[in-house]
Amino acid sequence: MEVPYTVENRPDTGLYNAKVGIWLFLASEVMLFGALFSSYILLRVGALEGHWPTELLNVPIGTVNTMVLILSSVTVVMAWASLKLNDFKKFKMYQLATVICACMFVLIKSYEYRDKLTHHDVVLADGMRVDGHLVEETDEYIILSHPVSYPAVKGIGYRPTAIKEAEHGDDHHHAEDRKIMLADIVKRTTWGPWANTYFAIYFTLTGLHALHVIAGALVIAYYWGPGSKMWKTNPEQFTNRIEVSGLFWHFVDLVWIFLFPILYLL
């Protein structure tokens, strides 16, 4: 049995079926991400004044990732345009470039996650809070690199303005590695999703987005590799499939264009 309207447009919708399908799916995705964006905004405006951690994310890394995704949007649309212009060689090249960009994004994101998950935050018995990256751990002590110390009057990740300004100073001065005895530690955690509301929503939003990037990359990689055989048997349907995967990829990129400023800059 032949599946209808995979190439020609349906008279009632004016579109081929896969395009209607992907737009319905993207509508549900808008609702999913929209709910999470709304949650983020409500949590942020609902936080006590000065209790929402800011400037904890790495803007240069986030910027590089944004550039990578913008570039991937160009390559994904160029792959589709190449098929429209009957240039299969160029299609292969652009499609591969998109997969490489997707892999780069995921790798950079993984590095960022690792950086946060190894960032320790301890509250000491003397009422001070120290955060930094774990260098060494024994049964008696831990050593943190680039430690930042300040009174533990507020929640995890909240650094007083004076500390932030010192970090932005000319020499980016940080103290030497700091050895902390376990006996002096009252509370200890890492900057994971369990740390506080901010990191919970950060990991939820970016984790869900990264899953979409991985899913999209798998589909695009399939059409670059084994799926591209269809070009020989049914080029029009293949071109439509590439368009549909490109629409999904653009949605994923558009989500990041909103995520990046909201999480990293504001």
Partner 1 sequence: MSLKAFHLIFVTATTLFSLFFGLWSLNQYRNIDPSALNLTFVFLAFVMLIALPIYGYYFLKKLKDVSFL
Contact residues toward partner 1 (CB under 8 A) are 14-15, 19, 23, 59-60, 63, 66, 70, 73-74, 77, 80-81, 84, 168, 243, 246-247, 250, 253-254, 257, 260-261, 265
DSSP β-bridge partners for residue 38:
none
Q: Which is nearer to partner 1, 102 or 247 (CB)?
A: 247
Please choose, from the candidates 240, 120, 244, 258, the residue with its C-alpha nearest in 3D space to the C-alpha of residue 189. 120
What is residue 262's DSSP assignment? I
Angle (nearest 5°) at CA 198 between 135 and 144: 10
Q: Are 52 and 44 in contact (CB under 8 A)?
A: yes
Distances (CA, A) of 109 to 82, 113, 241: 30, 6, 28
Shortest distance, position 70 Cβ to partner 1, whole Å? 6
Shortest distance in whole angstroms from residue 87 CB to partner 1: 12
| Beta carbons within 8 Å of 232's beta carbon, 6+ residues apart | none
Q: Which is nearer to partner 1, 181 or 257 (CB)?
A: 257
State the nearest-atom distance from the C-beta of 259 to partner 1, in Å: 11
Q: Smaller CB distance to partner 1: residue 208 or 254?
A: 254
Q: How many CB atoms lie within 10 A of CB 132?
A: 23
Q: Which is nearer to partner 1, 80 or 158 (CB)?
A: 80
* Burial class (CB within 10 angstroms; exposed 0-12, middle 13-18, buried 19+) of 98: buried
Environment class of 117 (CB within 10 Å of its CB; exposed 0-12, middle 13-18, buried 19+): middle
Q: What is the CA radius of gyration of the chain?
A: 24
* Nearer to partner 1 among residue 56 and residue 247 (C-beta): 247
Which is closer to partner 1, CB of 168 or CB of 232? 168
The residues near 179 (Cβ < 8 Å, ≥ 6 apart) are: 141, 142, 143
> How many CB atoms are located within 10 Å of the residue 128 CB?
13
Q: Which is nearer to partner 1, 121 or 243 (CB)?
A: 243
SS3 120: strand
Q: Are 56 and 191 in contact (CB under 8 A)?
A: yes
What is the smallest separation between the CB atom of 58 and partner 1, expressed in angstroms? Answer: 11
Q: How far is the CB of 247 from partner 1 (least distance, A)?
A: 6
Q: How far is the CB of 219 from partner 1 (least distance, A)?
A: 14
